[in-house]
Amino acid sequence: MTRDTPIRIGNISGFYGDRASALGEMLSGPVDYLTGDYLAELTMLILGRDRLKDPSTGYAKTFLRALREHLAEARSRGVKIVVNAGGLNPGGLAEQVSALATELGVDTAVGWVDGDDLVSRAADLGVPGAVTANAYLGAFGIADCLNSGADIVVTGRVTDASLTVAPGIAEFGWGREDYDALAGAVAAGHVIECSAQATGGNYAFFSRYPVDTLLHPGFPIAELASDGTSVITKHDGTGGIVTVGTVTAQLLYEVTGPRYAGPDVTLRLDSVRLEQQGEDRVAITGAVGEPPSPTTKVATTTLGGFRNEIGFLLTGLDIERKAELLEAQLRAGLDAEPGELQFRLARTDHPDADTEAAATAVLTAVAWDADPDKVGRNFSSAAVELVLATYPGASPTAPPQKGSPYGVYVPCYIANEQVPHRAHRPDGTVVEIAPPTRTAGIATDESDPGATGESVGPTRRVPLGTIVGTRSGDKGGSANVGAWVESDDAYAWLRGYLTIERLRQLLPETTELPVARYELPHLRAVNFVIEDVLGKGVAHGYRFDPQAKGIGEWLRSRHADIPVALLGDASEGE
């Protein structure tokens, strides 16, 4: 039988390393399911290196530690748990969970899902020597385990939203072609997948709230209904906030155009509507779903070589000249220059500063090479040896370090039929999950450069972030920056003002890079995808901000001529 009342799905992890106390905190209030997302591009590389050293590892051990303390309580309350903490070894983690349950004397049925690990086929995918190669599986394998009596389901790589979609399938009996319901669940899952980012964490307008309010944000809950609509909330009495703004920010996180593709359904982000339904309650409605793509995304990581960096403090006058001297000396002093060598000068200094820190800039030398000796201690020692022979006041930020391996992220696509998807039920039965029979090629969302509109009335030059919120993040070697406002009048101005040309003016680092722009009117948002800004991906460590988390805040800090009518009291004190 299927139910017709909403289910409460709480999240306990947004990344490998998230708040360890979250599982216990979420069990402090009413929930039916708990989900945990532990996997990211960099995480997969870390787990892949773990597996190279010890094939019995490759999963997120922090989940086991949290479960040891709270398994009995979760089972006594009938709360089911779905996590992708299995990483590269979901079967191994499932065995550990079962062993823990036996040790604790807690009756627990464990299911697990695999088939995503395609590393043995990496050469056929065009990525020979890959350390990891994982397909993004959907939610139906998890749902099969739940329907077969699993109390805990462990997966490897599935889409982050699948952890939320699966309980909806299991509880409400959704089929493969219930696209709108599936799409609504994807929207809810995308909002809660990054834990406190939906409850006030990393929120552009955080300064509107007292520090005490944001001191310890509660983790988010999606009250998911049988039609796929949901209400995003959190436990009563916990910190943080749930507003249309916090939910909008998370919907814009790491997306591209209006179509948000997944293995079970393509969500039309431009159909989603948000409404504040009370304190810390935001409804998500209107989601429209389309058939999924005939291909599945596979994320691969390879060891690209070795990387090292060393920073120098440059204080006071002649900063540019000091940086020029150090760079020339270091290049001349290397026995063999690395394959890649970059010098990045961060002008954090201010003229006539009243503290030394405020008078200081940082020059960072970053080296990459396939040969660890070229970027190892020889490299950083060569830099340190210059300390008494270079610019005045020279000071390294750290002692010489060894070079460390870095990874390269490469996405590729494979026909759905070529991706195994297996549900390992608690009774030991293994079921093959068939791919969707109805698919559709993902229509290309055309980039809109935007048309500059006329300002209404007088303007005032203030930071863009006075009225514009942003959320940015990494997409492989690219980054997205979503920008939104809080009224229809402000959106009419934003969509006319924030064009691709304007973005390039405000963020000069994007001038030579491909940029796409998409409008999402229901969210009062525009989203930009900046290609190649992160080089070879997060693990390569190309930028000062390698995960692009701060690009949005950089954009908000740039000054713009904003209509006074939109500012209200927001610009007082500017």
Inform me whether the pLDDT recorded for 35 exceeds 90. yes
Specify the pLDDT at position 452.
Answer: 72
Residues 242 and 382 in one domain: no
Q: How many domains does the chain have?
A: 3
First to last CA, the chain: 60
pLDDT band at 60 (very low <50, low <70, confident <90, very high): very high
pLDDT band at 569 (very low <50, low <70, confident <90, very high): low
Inform me whether the pLDDT recorded for 541 exceeds 70. no
Residues 339 and 236 in one domain: no
Tokens 């450069």 belong to 449
pLDDT band at 570 (very low <50, low <70, confident <90, very high): low
Q: What is the mean pLDDT of the chain?
A: 94
In 3D space, the residue among 229, 222, 149, 152 whose CA is nearest the CA of residue 184 turns out to be 229
pLDDT digits (tens, 9 = 90+) for 189-247: 999 999 999 999 999 999 999 999 999 999 999 999 999 999 999 999 999 999 999 99
Specify the pLDDT at position 352.
Answer: 97
Residues 317 and 254 in one domain: no
Total residues belonging to the chain: 574
517-540 as b/e, with b when 16 or more CB fall inside 10 Å?
A: bbbbeebbbbbbbbeebbbbbbbb
pLDDT band at 279 (very low <50, low <70, confident <90, very high): very high
pLDDT band at 76 (very low <50, low <70, confident <90, very high): very high
Inform me whether the pLDDT recorded for 83 exceeds 60. yes
Residues 175 and 143 in one domain: yes
In 3D space, the residue among 479, 446, 84, 449 whose CA is nearest the CA of residue 257 turns out to be 446
In 3D space, the residue among 241, 171, 258, 237 whose CA is nearest the CA of residue 207 turns out to be 241
Residues 107 and 40 in one domain: yes
In 3D space, the residue among 34, 472, 527, 44 whose CA is nearest the CA of residue 260 turns out to be 527
Decide if 452 is inside a domain.
no
Q: What is the mean pLDDT of residues 342-360?
A: 96
Decide if 413 is inside a domain.
no
445-480 as b/e, with b when 16 or more CB fall inside 10 Å?
A: bebeebeeeebeeebeebbbbbbbbbbbbbbbbbbb
Percent of the chain surpassing pLDDT 90: 84
Decide if 127 is inside a domain.
no
Decide if 555 is inside a domain.
yes
In 3D space, the residue among 46, 44, 36 whose CA is nearest the CA of residue 15 turns out to be 36
Residue 389, domain CATH: 3.30.70.380
pLDDT band at 573 (very low <50, low <70, confident <90, very high): very low
Specify the pLDDT at position 198.
Answer: 98
**What is the rounded distance in angstroms from the CA atom of residue 538 to the CA atom of residue 313?**
25
**Domain limits at 19?**
7-114+137-290+420-432
In 3D space, the residue among 125, 33, 143, 16 whose CA is nearest the CA of residue 423 turns out to be 143
Residues 159 and 281 in one domain: yes
Q: What is the mean pLDDT of residues 384-413?
A: 90
Residues 11 and 110 in one domain: yes
Residues 309 and 285 in one domain: no
Residues 347 and 425 in one domain: no
Inform me whether the pLDDT recorded for 571 exceeds 60. no
Decide if 451 is inside a domain.
no
Specify the pLDDT at position 572.
Answer: 45
Residues 469 and 341 in one domain: no
**Full strand arrangement of the beta sheet holding 80-83:** 273-278, 281-285, 230-233, 221-224, 7-13, 33-36, 80-83, 152-155, 110-114, 422-424, 430-432
Decide if 264 is inside a domain.
yes
Specify the pLDDT at position 574.
Answer: 37
Decide if 382 is inside a domain.
yes
Residues 236 and 373 in one domain: no
Decide if 183 is inside a domain.
yes
Specify the pLDDT at position 522.
Answer: 97
Inform me whether the pLDDT recorded for 33 exceeds 90. yes
Specify the pLDDT at position 167.
Answer: 98
Specify the pLDDT at position 392.
Answer: 97
In 3D space, the residue among 89, 85, 16 whose CA is nearest the CA of residue 48 turns out to be 89
User: 160 or 4: which carries more pLDDT confidence?
Assistant: 160
Specify the pLDDT at position 385.
Answer: 92
Residues 274 and 345 in one domain: no
β strands within 156-241, DSSP E:
221-224, 230-233
Considering 51-60, 90-99, 391-400, 474-483, the range whose residues carry the highest mean pLDDT is: 90-99
